[in-house]
Amino acid sequence: MVENKIKELKIGNVILDNNIILGPMAGLTDRAFRIVCEKFNPGLVVSEMVSSKALFYGDDKTKKLLDTSGEKGKIAIQIFGSDTESMAFATKYINEQKIADIIDINMGCPAPKIVKNGDGSKLLLDIDKVYDITRAVVENSDIPVTVKIRKGWDSNNITGLDAAKAIERAGAKAITVHGRTRADYYSGEADWEIIKQIKQNVSIPVIGNGDIKSPEDAERIFEETNCDGIMISRASLGNPWIFEEIQNYFLNKPIRVIDKKEILDVILEHIDLEVQDKGENVGIKEMRKHICYYLKNMKNASEIRNTINHLDTKNEVESVLTKYFSSLENIT
C-alpha cells in the first residue's frame, strides 16, 4: 500500500482540492492547455508567464494571456519583472480583473531574453531585490502571492535558501522550488536536496518541482523532501492524464489505460480551444508542438508529425489525425 500524499493544500486563504499542480511553461500553458489539463483534476494550474512591464504599458497581446474564461479549477497568474513599480501595477490590474485565485512571481526562468533584463532567475543574485519585488506584489494584492524559484544562479551562487527566507519574510504564502540552477537550464538531474533544505527552514508551504515524470517520482519526491505539494510541468505535455494517474496511484486505485479514442478526443478538443482563442492560422501552428508531444513514441509518429507540420487548416489536421488513430491498434 502506498502512503497517500494527496491532500488539500492551503495557500493563504485559498484551499486547493489537492496538492498536484500544473506548472507554468512559456508558450505552452495557455488557456487551451490549462482547460485540457483541468479535465484530469490538478489542484491548481499556473498560466504562462506574463510581463509586468507589458501590462504597465497596456500591451493588448499581453492582456490576452490573462484570459481565464471557461476555466473551472483554481488558477494562478504568473507575472515576471524586476522593478517594483511595474510589478505592483500588474498585481493591481490582475486583482481588479478578478481572473485568478493566486498571483505567482517568476524568479526561476533561465531564458536569455528574460535574464538579460534582470528578470526571472537573475533575481536570485540579489536577495534584497527578491524581498523588494515580493513585498511590492504582496502589498498590492488581495489574493495570495506565491513565488517560483530555482536552486540558485550557478554552482557558485546557490542562493535558493536565502531567497526562500526573504520571500517568506516579504509575505508570500508559498514557494515552488525547481531543483536546478539557472546555469543547468533543464539538463542533468534536479537536486531535490535543496527542496528538503528549504522545507526545513520556512513555515509556508513548499512545492517541489523538477524531474517528476511518473507517480513513482511523485512518491519519491514527497518522501525525500517532505514537500507540501508537487508541480508537474514538462511531463504534462502530451500527457495531461498524469494528474489523474498520480492521484489514483496514491489513492491505491488502478491506473486507467488511456485508449486511442480518448487520446484523439483530447487532441481534437485541444485544437478546438486553440483555434477558438488564436484563430485558425496561429492556432494550428501552436498545436504542432503539442501534437508532437501527444504522438510521442507512437507508431509512425514522425511521419504523421511531418505531414501535420505542412498543414494550415483545422479540417486538414483533424482529418489526418482521425485517419491515423483509426489505423492504430489500441494503445496501452
225 close to 196: Cβ distance less than 8 angstroms: yes
The grid coordinates of residue 319 equal: 482529418
Of the listed 37, 109, 227, 292, which one is catalytic?
A: 109
227 is catalytic: no
Find how far residue 65's CA is from the centre of its chain. Answer: 14
Q: Which of these, 23, 31, 113, 38, lies nearest to 66 by C-alpha position?
A: 31
- Range list of β-strands (E), the chain: 9-11, 14-16, 20-22, 44-46, 50-51, 75-80, 102-107, 145-152, 174-181, 206-209, 229-232
User: What is the rounded distance in angstroms from the CA atom of residue 320 to the CA atom of residue 304?
Assistant: 8
Residue 107 and residue 148 in contact, taking contact as beta carbons nearer than 8 Å: yes
For residue 36, give Cα distances in angstroms to 139, 270, 285, 297.
33, 6, 18, 21
- Looking at residue 253, what DSSP letter applies? P
Cross-strand pairs, 105: 79, 147
Q: Which of 63, 49, 165 is nearest to 109 (CA)?
A: 49
Phi, psi torsion values for 16, nearest 5 degrees: -85, 140
Kindly state the cell numbers that stand for 40: 484530469
| CA–CA separation, 291 and 280 (whole Å) | 15
Give the list of residues 6+ apart from residue 305 with CB closer than 8 angstroms, or none.
Answer: 288, 291, 292, 295
Residues recognised as catalytic = 109
